[in-house]
Chains A and B, each alone.
Chain A
Amino acid sequence: MPLKIVVTLHGIRTRGQWQKQITPYLARHGLIPYHLDYGFFGVLSFLMPWTRAGRVQWLRGELRDLMDRTGAKRVSLIAHSFGTWLALEVLEAENGNLRFDRVVLTGSIVRRDFPWGSTLLRKRWIQAVRNERATGDWVVRAAELFARLAGPLAPRAGASGALGFNTACPGVHDHCVAGGHSEVLNIANYDRWARFIAFPRLPPDHLRRVRMLVQQIRALAASRLGVDASLVRANLFVPSASALRMIPGAWDNMSWAPEHDIELALDHGSTGRAFTDGTPFSIRRLGGSWTAGVLPGPEQARLDPRLQWVLSLPIGRLVTRDGITVARDVVGVLNVDGLDSVPPLLQTAGDPTLKTLVFTLWASTEKIRESLALADTGEPLHDD
Chain B
Amino acid sequence: MTIDAPATLTDVTEHHDELVQFVYRAAAAAGLVAHARSLLAAAPTELAASFEQAMLASEFAS
Contacts and interface: CB of A to CB of B under 8 A. Distances in A.
A364 B6 contact: no
Contact of B39 (A268, A272, A289, A360): A360
Given A357-B39, A366-B50, A366-B51, A319 B22 contact: no
Given A318-B58, A319-B58, A297 B6 contact: yes
Contacts of A212: 46
Contacts of B19: 281-283, 291-292
Given A317-B58, A355-B32, A359-B36, A293 B20 contact: no
B47 A216 contact: yes
Interface string A248-273: 00000000000000000101110011
Instruction: Bin the interface of chain A by size.
Output: 35 or more
B3 A213 contact: no
Nearest to B1: A289
A269 B40 CA distance: 29
A294 B3 CA distance: 6
A355 B22 contact: yes
A324 B40 contact: no
Nearest to A273: B9
A185 interface: no
B6 A216 contact: no
A356 B49 CA distance: 17
A280 B22 CA distance: 6
A217 B48 CA distance: 11
A372 to B, nearest CB: 13
A28 interface: no
B36 A360 contact: yes
A323 B24 CA distance: 8
Contacts of A50: none
Nearest to A322: B26
Interface string A334-363: 000000000000100100100111111001
Given A289-B1, A294-B7, A320 B53 contact: no
Contact of A366 (B33, B43, B54): B54
A357 B59 CA distance: 20
Nearest to B8: A293
A325 B20 CA distance: 16
B24 A294 contact: no
Nearest to B39: A360
A300 interface: yes
Contacts of B47: 213, 216-217, 220, 364
B48 to A, nearest CB: 8
Contact of B54 (A272, A280, A352, A364): A364
Given A292-B9, A293-B8, A324-B25, A367 B49 contact: yes
A312 to B, nearest CB: 10
A294 B5 contact: yes
Interface string B16-29: 00111111111111
Contacts of B28: 355
A19 interface: no
B57 A358 contact: no
Contact of B60 (A219, A325, A360): A325
A224 interface: yes
9 contacts: A267-B8, A292-B15, A294-B1, A294-B12, A297-B4, A319-B58, A323-B26, A356-B32, A365-B50
Given A352-B35, A384-B49, 14 more contacts: A282-B20, A288-B3, A290-B15, A291-B20, A294-B1, A300-B4, A323-B25, A324-B25, A325-B23, A325-B26, A325-B60, A363-B60, A366-B50, A367-B53
The 7 closest A-B pairs by CB, nearest first: A366-B54, A318-B58, A293-B9, A360-B36, A363-B54, A367-B50, A282-B20
